[in-house]
Amino acid sequence: MLADLTALLGARKVRGADPDDLAPFARDESHCGAFPPAAVVLAESRADVEATLRFASERRIPVTPCGARTGKAGGSLPIRGGIALSLERMDRIIAVEPGDGMMVVEPGVITGRVMEEAERVGLFYPPDPNSWESCTIGGNVAANAGGPRALKYGVTGDYVLGLEAVLADGEVIRTGRRTLKGVAGYDLTALLVGSEGTLAVVTEITLRLVPLPKAVRAALCIFPDATAAARAVAQVLAAGILPRTLELLDDQAIAAADSRGPFRFPLGAGAAILAETDGDDPESVMAALVRLGEIAVEAGALDVLVAQGESQRRELWATRRQVSLALKALYPRKVSEDIVVPRSKIPQAIERFKAIGREHGLQVATYGHAGDGNLHTNVLFREEEERPAVDACLEALMRETLALGGTITGEHGVGLAKRAFLPWEQGPVLIDLQRRLKATFDPLGILNPGKIFPEDR
């Protein structure tokens, strides 16, 4: 296979002879393990993607698309071997059109660059997965990624107007539009966003941009415990304030973040909320933050620290963004979840998750996007022997989430990590309908096989 693929695409774009070249494509940032592909294609253009998929279809070789491999659910792991199709080299910003409020990009562009390019022309690309400095926009589209600002601004899919994609047989499709409105035909753009590379390989993305808010203010509210913090989140939102973020850190997350700096949490902090308000009028942005702080104090906050200036605001965010890595440094076997519960259930969920951890003799850290109910419950452990308890704990967490009216994944995708749980949330009719959609797009089943749906047949 390798020789034919190399003859087709050229040696510069194909790897496979040296196992060291394959190793980075065997893993992502999930706990799912290593699955080396037989070959890696480093596509440089849509034509390379078309050629690879035609080649793979003719030979029925699995193809797993990938970007920066920062996923947390094993979505881009080549679990059946075959070809890892990397889109990282397709990293051109094709057009920025401030007049039309949009940008056209290739999938390998780093998300942070999309944000910067938008801001350069006074516009805003709001979705901000915490890995924005390293993840790619194509990966964000595949998972329909979100981030802290999703509370006010929504997730990746809310900004995708149209896609160019290559089907499993090598045919090219263009879905959606380059206009702000448009309702022609089924919304296939929405179907492809979040399909985790199982339906088509995206080669071009048209993004909607919005005006850049002129003022942003941040505050860190310190609480004695996570339940008080969760109560404050509910009360802020009930008061009709819509901050752009309401990020929760529980005691474990604080301890981990504190160990790496740059921000030092006050002694006695059992939980924290990182809140940010934005808008065009600096005074009303500050007034909303002050009101938010008052509500936090009424709900039991010990202190409210308003960031003085941009550098302190950035410092707070740098601290929040490294929680995941800091926890992983302390507990190399951290399993990260991204469940969502209805907002009103957040305090209950946090208490139940801690109790479930205790029942299984495990530490459970909870942090993340509390404002929209999207919590990162991380099961933390050190020894592989603890794995059966971890699996039982994860199952209990998922069951509890669903009992609270929630969903098993809010931003990382189902991938490999959560495919066994999907039937707990969605009935057999819905799963079967999705399998049939998959078969329509990819009749040979070569595109990212084994993902999203359980392998029970």
Of 296, 187, 206, 171, the closest CA to residue 246 belongs to 296
3-state SS string over 387-421?
HHHHHHHHHHHHHHHHHCCCECECCCCCCCCCHHH
Among 86, 130, 175, 319, binds ligand 2HG (CB under 6 A): 130
Gap between the Cα atoms of 285 and 236, Å rounded? 15
Q: Which is nearer to ligand 2HG, 105 or 326 (CB)?
A: 326
Beta carbon of residue 374, minimum distance to ligand 2HG (angstroms, whole number): 8
Residues with Cβ within 8 Å of 300's Cβ and at least 6 positions away in sequence, in order, are 223, 224, 228, 231, 232
Where is 304: in which H helix or E strand? strand 303-306
Interacting residues with ligand 2HG between 13 and 52 (CB under 6 A):
none
d(CA 419, CA 413): 9
- In the complex with ligand 2HG, which residue's Cβ is closer, 86 or 130? 130
Query: Which of 97, 63, 94, 60 has the alpha carbon at shortest distance from 77?
Result: 63
Q: How far apart are CA 97 and CA 99, in angstroms?
A: 5
Q: Say whether residue 324 binds ligand 2HG (CB under 6 A).
A: yes
Q: Which of 13, 31, 69, 72 binds ligand 2HG (CB under 6 A)?
A: 72
**What binding mask, one character per residue, do residues 232-261 give for ligand 2HG by CB under 6 A, x or -?**
------------------------------
Give the nearest distance from C-beta 250 to ligand 2HG in angstroms.
Answer: 12
Pairing relationship of beta strands 335-336 and 210-211 according to DSSP bridges? unpaired
* Backbone phi, psi, residue 122, to 5°: 80, 15
Half-sphere exposure of 39 (CA within 13 A, CB side): 22
Minimum distance of ligand 2HG from residue 317's CB (angstroms): 11
With CB under 6 A as the contact rule, the residue among 368, 373, 413, 450 that binds ligand 2HG is 368
- Give me the least distance between CB of 339 and ligand 2HG, in Å please: 11
Closer Cβ to ligand 2HG, 231 or 376, answer by number: 376
One character per residue 267-296, x = contact with ligand 2HG (rule: CB under 6 A): ------------------------------
**Residue 207 contacts by C-beta under 8 Å, 6 or more apart in sequence?**
102, 103, 104, 105, 114, 125, 137, 159, 160, 161
Nearer to ligand 2HG, 15 or 376 (CB): 376
* Residues of this chain, 133-152, that bind ligand 2HG according to CB under 6 A: none
Beta strands in 172-257 (DSSP E): 172-176, 201-208, 210-211, 215-223, 245-250
Of 189 and 378, CB closest to ligand 2HG:
378
In the sheet with 39-42, reading across from the earlier edge strand, the strands are 14-15, 39-42, 83-86, 63-66
432 Cβ neighbours under 8 A, 6+ residues apart: none
Q: Which is nearer to ligand 2HG, 107 or 368 (CB)?
A: 368
Shortest Cβ distance from residue 375 to ligand 2HG (Å)? Answer: 9
Min dist. Cβ of residue 366 to ligand 2HG (A): 10
- Of the two residues 198 and 336, which places its CB atom closer to ligand 2HG in the complex? 336
Bridge pairing between strands 374-380 and 271-279: unpaired
How many Å apart are CA 164 and CA 203, to the nearest integer? 6
Q: What is the CA radius of gyration of the chain?
A: 22
| Cβ proximity to ligand 2HG, 57 vs 336, nearer residue | 336
Q: Least Å distance between CB 362 and ligand 2HG?
A: 15
Smallest gap from residue 358 Cβ to ligand 2HG (A) = 20
Cβ 231 to ligand 2HG shortest distance, Å? 21
Q: Name which position in 69, 149, 313, 376 contacts ligand 2HG (CB under 6 A).
A: 376
**Contact between 363 and ligand 2HG (CB under 6 A)?**
no
Nearer to ligand 2HG, 175 or 377 (CB): 377
Figure out which of the listed residues 198, 336, 363, 409 binds ligand 2HG, where binding follows CB under 6 A: 336
* Sole binder of ligand 2HG in the list 6, 30, 252, 378 (CB under 6 A): 378
| Cβ closest to ligand 2HG, residue 61 vs residue 248 | 248
Q: Which of 36, 20, 19 is nearest to 28 (CA)?
A: 36
Closest CA to 186 of 414, 440, 432, 428: 440
CB 289 within 8 A of CB 273: no
How many amino acids of this chain bind ligand 2HG (CB under 6 A)?
A: 8
Query: Please, which residue, 48 or 337, has the CB nearer to ligand 2HG?
Result: 337
Tokens of 232: 């404050």
| Binding stretches for ligand 2HG (CB under 6 A) | 72, 130, 323-324, 336, 368, 376, 378
